[in-house]
Each structure stands twice: as structure tokens, then as C-alpha cells.
Structure 1
Amino acid sequence: MSQPVLVVLGAGPGLGLAVARRFAQEGYAAVLATRTEADAEPLAQTLRDDGHEALGVGVDLTDPAEITGVVTGIGTRYGRIDALHFNPSAWREKDPLHLTVPELLEDVALGAGALLPAVQAARPFLGSGARVLVTGSAAADEPSAAAASLGVQKAAVRNLVTSLDATLAPDGIRAVAVQINGVLAKEGPFSPPPIADAMWQAVSRPDDGWSPHVAYDG
């Protein structure tokens, strides 16, 4: 396939769809992965209605084996993956005095750990110039005590992006976490479209002077 391919893991009707639309406007075919194919296909249909190539797939992001199988299947189907957008996080309203170790590890496994099998499975299909894009959050630096696991997830995934970028860079593949320093909204600078545009700008930078961390301040 000559058309570049974007895979969005943890897609939804907000930022995930907006990122897929922004990449589609640049000529990418978009694969949107949600918990079930039934949830993903309407998102893909939205892009197809606009004339873009899009596919919806289901994946359980708490199951590393399933992540591996789905990402490998996408790469095999298209013969390439040019951008992998990792978007999931777990919201659990528990402060540090009530959050248990199993709950913390469960949330971090989704919001950070799932990136590992995703990139490992995508690696054979990532060519020079491919990008790994991660949705970051100000919670990495200013966590909410009411949802303590979220800050740990975002700090962990940002750290992981640094290691991934250093590992992939010799082959011309780069990784970046775009840290959203604000609360997502339906309108304004923290609505999905301008954030998606910032994410496109982050991945379309040249390798010279590359940084694996980009802040979006609206």
C-alpha cells in the first residue's frame, strides 16, 4: 500500500477521532481501535463519509497478547504502519490513601504498559520516518490527589516515550509525547481539533533538533 497508515489505540469520539481526521487530511489511512469493533466502526464511518480511508477494529488494551495480535494484523493487512497514536488512560477516583497496589498496577498497565506490546508488534512495519505519538497530560507534573493513578500513568508513559525514542532513533523512527497542559473541552484551544493539529505538528517535525516531549499550552 502506498498510502501512509495511522493506527489510533484507545480511539474515541473526541481526541482520538480528531487526530485520525487530522492525519487523514494529510493523506493517511486511519485505523481506529476501541474496546470493540462495534464501537470503532461508527468512528471510522465518520471519516469514510468525509471521503477518507478508514477502518474500525476492536482491541482489549489490558491484554498484551490481543494488542500484539491486532497490531500485527493491521500491519500485515496494509504492509506498513507509519504512525501509531497511543491514547488510552484509566480514570479512577481514588486518592493515595484508598488506592490499592493492584488498582494502581492495573491502571498503569493500561495507561503506560500497553504501549510496549503495541510498539513491539508495530516495529516490523515501521519504516524510516515513522512516528510513535502518545497523548500526554499535565497530570504527569501536577497530579490530582483525587485520582492518584492518572498522574502515575502519565509520568510513566512520558518516561517510556523517552526510552522508545532513543531506541528507535537509529532507524529513523521517532517517538513523542504531546503533553496537554489544560482540561479537554468541547470548544476553544483545548478542544480536540487544535490539539490534534498540535499533534500533527509534533510528528511532522524533522529529525534535526527532535525532542521526545512537546508541551501543548493552548
Structure 2
Amino acid sequence: MSSPVLLVLGAGPGVGLAVARKFAQHGYKVALAARNPSEETSKAADLVIKTDFSDPSAVVSTFEKVKGVLGIPSVVVYNAYSSHRSEGDPFSVSVADFHTDLAVNATSAFATAKEAVKGFEYLPKDSSKTFIFTGNILNVRQRVSLTSLGAGKSATAHVVANAAATYLDKGFKFYYADERTPDGGPVNNDVDGPAHAEFFYNLARDPKQGTWLATFVKDKGYVDFTAVDRSAPIFV
């Protein structure tokens, strides 16, 4: 029996590297795609693809390369992101920069989920068939300085929710993963790579779709922060 394949798109030294190492420890072949893959990240993979997801067409060629070398990925993690800050005014971001952020954070993520589904159709029944998008709190809380990033995250959260409902009967799983502090706040720049890796692996090995809005806390796993988010201020 061939090893299952993990594909991480947007593989940096934090979450991407930790996820690659975690899945490799459990017998996965690992493909990493990034704009500028580091030497350390490259050593953690069986296949490294240098690409830029500001161009959504790069997604299809990435999947073709992975399929040709390692096989069809059963776990796909979209971890790429782009952000241009809009200090004090949401429209201070240029249209060009907004377009770039939306392409990376939403359009390429949509293309990735679409390609993942195409592959899932050909995998054995007992394969994981899991798509995970590395999100953050911006799909439920607004922040003026991160308008373009939040727009992309929110758009992809909508796609993930629809996909989770649509493919439930087929056993294809879709998650918007969002690391939080124990009180439900954003982790901001304190993103924990190993915590993501542990949570992502648990999502992948669970045979059933869990809550698509996968908010989690380090060392605890999934925590429902719906009530907290409803009572939070509009701007944070």
C-alpha cells in the first residue's frame, strides 16, 4: 500500500514546516509549495515546488507536479497568505494591493480546494480526503488595519462552509482553522506551528467532518468560541 500524500501550499518556517514534520512522522509523503522555500523547509519534504500563489493558475500546475511525483494528495493544507496594511482607513490600500491579497487569500485558496476535490474523487474510500485552510479571527471580527487580509479570509471561510456541507455524504472534509488564545482572542503574531500541526493531524485522521469553523487552542484542541465572537466589539 502506497503512503498517503500531504500537500502544503504556502510552506514557511512556522506552520508549514511544523505540519510537514508532523505528517511525515506518521508515514505521509510530503509536498511543499512556496514562493521562497527555505533550506530547512525543503529538507522536511519529499517534493518542493517553488511557486507564487498571487497567480491562481499556479495551483493547477502545483497539483499536476505532486500527482506526477508522489501521487494524489489526500490531505491538502492551504497556508499561503498576503497582507497589505490599511492604517486608519480601509481604503488606504491600493486596488492593486487589494487584488493581490484577494488572489492569494481567496482565489488561489478556492482553486486549491477545487483541485483537491478532483483528486479526492479518485482516492480509496478509507483515505483521509481533508482540506484545511489556515485562517484567523478576521472572518468573525473586523480590523481596519487588516481590511484586505480579512476580506480574503472571510471569502474563503464562506467557501469552506459551503464545501463542508456539499461534500459531507462523500466523506470529503473541509476546515477553516483558527488558532485562538484560551479566552477566545486572536493569537496575532504568536502563531504556534506545532499546535497547528497537532490540530491539523487530528482533523485529518478523524473519519468524520467536524465543525468546519475549527477554532482551537494550543494543548486543548477545538474550542467553540461562537458566544465570545458574538459579544466582541466590531473593531479590534
Unmatched runs of 5 consecutive residues or more in structure 2: 181-186, 219-236
Within a 5 Å distance, the mapping from 1:196-211 to structure 2 comes to: 196-207=197-208, 210-211=210-211
Paired residues of 1:131 and 1:175 also in contact (CA < 8 A):
yes
Deviations 1:92-148 (A, max 9, x none): 111413124443232111101102222333333322431001101012222331221
1:32 Cα shift? 0.8
**1:176 matched residue in structure 2:** 175
TM-score by length of 2: 0.78
Paired residues of 1:41 and 1:57 also in contact (CA < 8 A):
no
**1:75 matched residue in structure 2:** 67
Paired residues of 1:85 and 1:133 also in contact (CA < 8 A):
yes
TM-score by length of 1: 0.84
Deviations 1:37-66 (A, max 9, x none): xx2554121x2xxxxx62211122122222
Runs ≥4 residues deviating over 6 A: none
Paired residues of 1:31 and 1:44 also in contact (CA < 8 A):
no
Unmatched runs of 5 consecutive residues or more in structure 1: 48-52
**1:113 matched residue in structure 2:** 107
Question: Distance in 1 between the 2:169 and 2:207 partners?
Answer: 14
Question: Distance in 2 between the 1:55 and 1:217 partners?
Answer: 30
Paired residues of 1:141 and 1:151 also in contact (CA < 8 A):
no
Q: Which amino acid aligns with 1:199?
A: F
Question: Distance in 1 between the 2:192 and 2:99 partners?
Answer: 30
Q: Which amino acid aligns with 1:183?
A: N
CA RMSD of aligned residues (A): 2.0
Count of residues in Structure 1 that have an aligned counterpart in Structure 2: 205
1:211 Cα shift? 1.9
**2:18 matched residue in structure 1:** 18
**1:2 matched residue in structure 2:** 2
**1:32 matched residue in structure 2:** 32
